[in-house]
Homo-oligomer: A and B are copies of this chain.
Amino acid sequence: MDDEEARTRLLDAAEARFYAEGIQAVGMDRIRAESGVPLKRLYKLFPAKEALVAGYLERRDRRWTGSLREAVSAAPADPVGAVFDWLAAWFSEPGFRGCAFLNAYGELGAGGPAAVLEPVRRHKAELRTLLAEILPPGPDRGELAEQLLILVEGATAVAALAPGPAPARRAAATAAALLRTADGRAG
């Protein structure tokens, strides 16, 4: 097992445990046991738990945002609908437990380590950008993107406590009403 594979196994274990049980609730020894990577190597690749948490969030962000971006690209006729379809599938995955980034932020607080807070902020900035990109250009674009963001976050928060596609469907219906109204105002 080379460093690359060890790194992957560590991040796999970290993501599974941190997301399911919370960050503080999972010790480094659990990561070692679940990944099969010796503690010494763990600390060579991630010099402290903080680095492992940051690595977990950064990799999850790349995968999450990349997957959403793919889904949007695959449906150029209705990118907004694609976002909520994608959310519905995500909410239905076994073990879904809300947004990993908001969970981490809620757990660590605003005074948490910068190496952890920064991926959280970057993740939300990327989501904001993506939502703006799928809206038609116009003076309301930024404002509408912010409103879409609220719908996405709201559906995710509601689904965190009651998993399933329903919150995504409801948010999609709300988004449709919102965009219809905006169209009316614009045209």
> A-side interface residues toward B, CB under 8 Å?
20-22, 24-25, 97-99, 102-103, 105-111, 120-121, 124, 143, 146-147, 149-158, 160-161, 166-167, 170-171, 173-174, 177-178, 180-182
Quick one: closest B residue to A19, CB to CB?
B109
Prevailing SS type, chain A contact patch: helix
- Total copies of this chain within the assembly: 2
What is the CB-to-nearest-CB distance from A76 to chain B, in angstroms, rounded to a whole number?
Answer: 25
Which chain B residues lie closer than 8 Å to A154 at the CB level? 149-155, 157
Which chain B residues lie closer than 8 Å to A20 at the CB level? 109
A109-B97, A181-B180 given; A153·B158 CB < 8 A:
yes
